[in-house]
């Protein structure tokens, strides 16, 4: 007997894809939006000497600046108008979500449904503007501090840079929202993923070139390739892992008919938070060091200390990265999954977990199970993200082969493919319904 996965693969074929016009429109819209984003990463910031900037970037590419460049899709390396990328928006989302848990007003808005979410989203946009202005002005000041990078330094350059970079971030935020509503997948995640994927070929070439010139041994290159394959397989396995809670429904009578009790499962993902924890953790670690890296050697002593200690492989960076990943794994899981609400819905529909009383006891049991599998999910995220980071720092491996980048690429790809499959199944069901209606009319 074929498995459910095999049946799904048999049902979803290229013929079904060819007939799904709505899905094709969404895919073309998504590809077009990502193409616009990639073109923007090649438009340079006005007033910068590209050759001198490239020398400055290459001297600091092994630290936080290189990681920032990875999330920016190469925009920092070219100092493009999208250099800030979508990171201020992510930072603003983190802050607003944290405030939602402590502010009664924001919590009340969240419970209002769609209208409340729109207001919270608007607050997030306002905060994104503030953070983008702060970071872009810091970048402008830092660029002026670097030797001969700015052609004509001064107040006009700082204001124009702040406006340009902030405008680039706001455009990407809008573009991500459009992809989410009119395309396929999560727009913000796809923007970050496309930037990483676009840099993978050049990163692979640079690594092989280091092997050719003797800068990296053949054994290390093979180790990196094997590690990448193992990490990808591990990510796929863990992202699909679930803890299924048995849900039982009692017998029910409809009219004169008695229906037998049914059973189903409540799937709890091992990693409910998805790719959010490493992205949030990286965003918060990048925020205080954006200005510090540009002012290395020129700023105050504490700024230089931050720049040094938050370098890859440094104990402070690894400790903070680990702590933030674990924190956001639990925090985001608590936001996206509400055990009390789930227990109430089960009770309304007559469902119960065998041996557990419906209502409050069910909510406590679901929370108990979810907390323990989230521990495993947090450990999985920490292992995937931290071990490659250590190898990056000691073996000079490009950032793009690290666990964070691979986790983002694999997770976002799996989510996008799942959405495509969902659209194809919905299209096939609609086709079957139309056929059955036509047959009924002919009869």
Which residues does residue 48 pair with via DSSP β-bridges, in sequence order?
150
pLDDT at 245: 84
Q: What residues contact residue 19 under an 8 Å CB cut-off, 6+ apart?
A: 427, 431
Question: What's the whole-number mean pLDDT along residues 270-274?
Answer: 85
Instruction: Looking at mean pLDDT, say which of 28-37, 51-60, 283-292 comes out highest.
Output: 28-37
pLDDT at 163: 93
Lowest-pLDDT range of 89-93, 238-242, 349-353: 349-353
For 381-429, how does the pLDDT look when each residue is reduced to its tens digit (9 = 90+)?
A: 888 888 777 766 665 565 555 667 788 888 888 888 888 887 777 766 6
In the predicted structure, residue 247 carries a pLDDT above the cut 60: yes
For 64-78, how does the pLDDT look when each residue is reduced to its tens digit (9 = 90+)?
A: 566 677 777 778 888
pLDDT at 164: 93
CA 39/CA 73 separation, integer angstroms: 11
Q: Is the distance from CB of 74 to CB of 43 less than 8 angstroms?
A: no
* All structural domains of the chain: 21-182+190-199 (1.10.3370.10), 216-443 (1.10.3370.10)
How high is the mean pLDDT of the chain?
Answer: 79
pLDDT at 353: 82
Angle between helical axes of 114-145 and 87-102 (0-180°, round to 10) = 130
For 128-146, how does the pLDDT look when each residue is reduced to its tens digit (9 = 90+)?
A: 999 999 888 888 887 887 7
Selected residue with higher pLDDT from 138 and 82: 82
Question: What's the whole-number mean pLDDT along residues 339-367?
Answer: 84
Question: What's the whole-number mean pLDDT along residues 205-226?
Answer: 79
For 296-321, how does the pLDDT look when each residue is reduced to its tens digit (9 = 90+)?
A: 455 567 666 766 676 666 778 788 88
> What is the per-residue burial (b if ≥16 Cβ within 10 Å, else e) of 260-269?
eeeeeebebb
In the predicted structure, residue 32 carries a pLDDT above the cut 90: yes
In the predicted structure, residue 4 carries a pLDDT above the cut 50: no
At 34, the pLDDT band (50, 70, 90 cuts) reads very high
In the predicted structure, residue 375 carries a pLDDT above the cut 70: yes
Q: Residue for token digits 């965003």?
A: 283
pLDDT at 173: 92
pLDDT at 110: 77
In the predicted structure, residue 435 carries a pLDDT above the cut 80: no
Selected residue with higher pLDDT from 297 and 51: 51
For 89-139, how does the pLDDT look when each residue is reduced to its tens digit (9 = 90+)?
A: 888 888 888 788 778 887 788 777 777 788 888 889 999 999 999 888 888
Selected residue with higher pLDDT from 314 and 60: 314
pLDDT at 1: 40
Question: What's the whole-number mean pLDDT along residues 24-39?
Answer: 91
At 200, the pLDDT band (50, 70, 90 cuts) reads confident
At 268, the pLDDT band (50, 70, 90 cuts) reads confident
Percent of the chain residues topping a pLDDT of 90: 11
In the predicted structure, residue 354 carries a pLDDT above the cut 80: yes
């Amino acid at each position: 007997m074929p498995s459910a996965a095999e049946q799904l693969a048999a049902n979803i074929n290229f013929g079904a894809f060819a007939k799904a016009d709505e899905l094709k429109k969404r895919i073309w819209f998504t590809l077009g939006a990502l193409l616009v984003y990639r073109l923007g990463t090649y438009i340079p910031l006005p007033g910068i000497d590209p050759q001198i900037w490239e020398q400055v970037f290459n001297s600091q590419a092994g630290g936080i600046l290189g990681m920032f460049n990875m999330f920016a899709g190469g925009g920092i390396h070219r100092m493009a108008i999208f250099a800030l990328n979508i990171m201020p928006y992510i930072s603003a989302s983190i802050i607003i979500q944290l405030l939602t848990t402590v502010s009664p007003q924001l919590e009340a808005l969240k419970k209002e449904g769609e209208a409340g979410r729109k207001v919270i989203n608007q607050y997030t946009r306002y905060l994104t503007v503030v953070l983008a202005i702060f970071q872009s002005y810091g970048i402008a000041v830092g660029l002026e501090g670097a030797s001969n990078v700015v052609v004509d330094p001064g107040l006009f350059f700082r204001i124009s840079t702040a406006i340009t970079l902030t405008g680039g971030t706001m455009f990407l935020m809008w573009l991500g929202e459009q992809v989410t509503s009119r395309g396929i997948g999560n727009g913000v995640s796809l923007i970050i993923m496309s930037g990483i994927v676009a840099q993978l070929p050049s990163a692979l070439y640079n690594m092989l070139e280091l092997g050719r010139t003797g800068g990296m041994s053949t054994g290390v290159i093979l180790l990196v390739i094997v590690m990448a394959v193992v990490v990808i397989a591990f990510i796929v396995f863990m992202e699909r892992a679930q803890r299924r809670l048995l849900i039982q429904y009692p017998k029910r009578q409809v009219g004169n008919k008695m229906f037998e009790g049914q059973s189903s499962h409540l799937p709890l993902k091992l990693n409910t938070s998805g790719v959010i924890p490493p992205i949030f953790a990286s965003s918060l670690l990048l925020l205080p060091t954006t200005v510090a890296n540009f002012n290395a050697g020129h700023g105050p002593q504490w700024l230089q200390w931050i720049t040094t200690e938050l370098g890859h492989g440094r104990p402070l960076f690894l400790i903070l990265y680990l702590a933030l990943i674990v924190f956001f794994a639990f925090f985001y899981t608590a936001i996206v999954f509400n055990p009390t609400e789930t227990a109430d819905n089960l009770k309304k529909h007559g469902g119960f977990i065998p041996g557990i009383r419906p209502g409050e006891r069910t909510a406590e049991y679901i929370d108990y199970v979810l907390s323990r599998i989230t521990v495993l999910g947090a450990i999985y995220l920490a292992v995937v993200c931290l071990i490659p980071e250590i190898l990056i720092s000691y073996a000079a491996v490009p950032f793009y082969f690290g666990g964070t980048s691979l986790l983002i690429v694999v997770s976002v790809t799996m989510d996008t493919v799942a959405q495509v499959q969902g659209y194809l199944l919905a299209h096939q069901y609609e086709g079957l319904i139309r056929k059955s209606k036509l047959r009924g009319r002919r009869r």
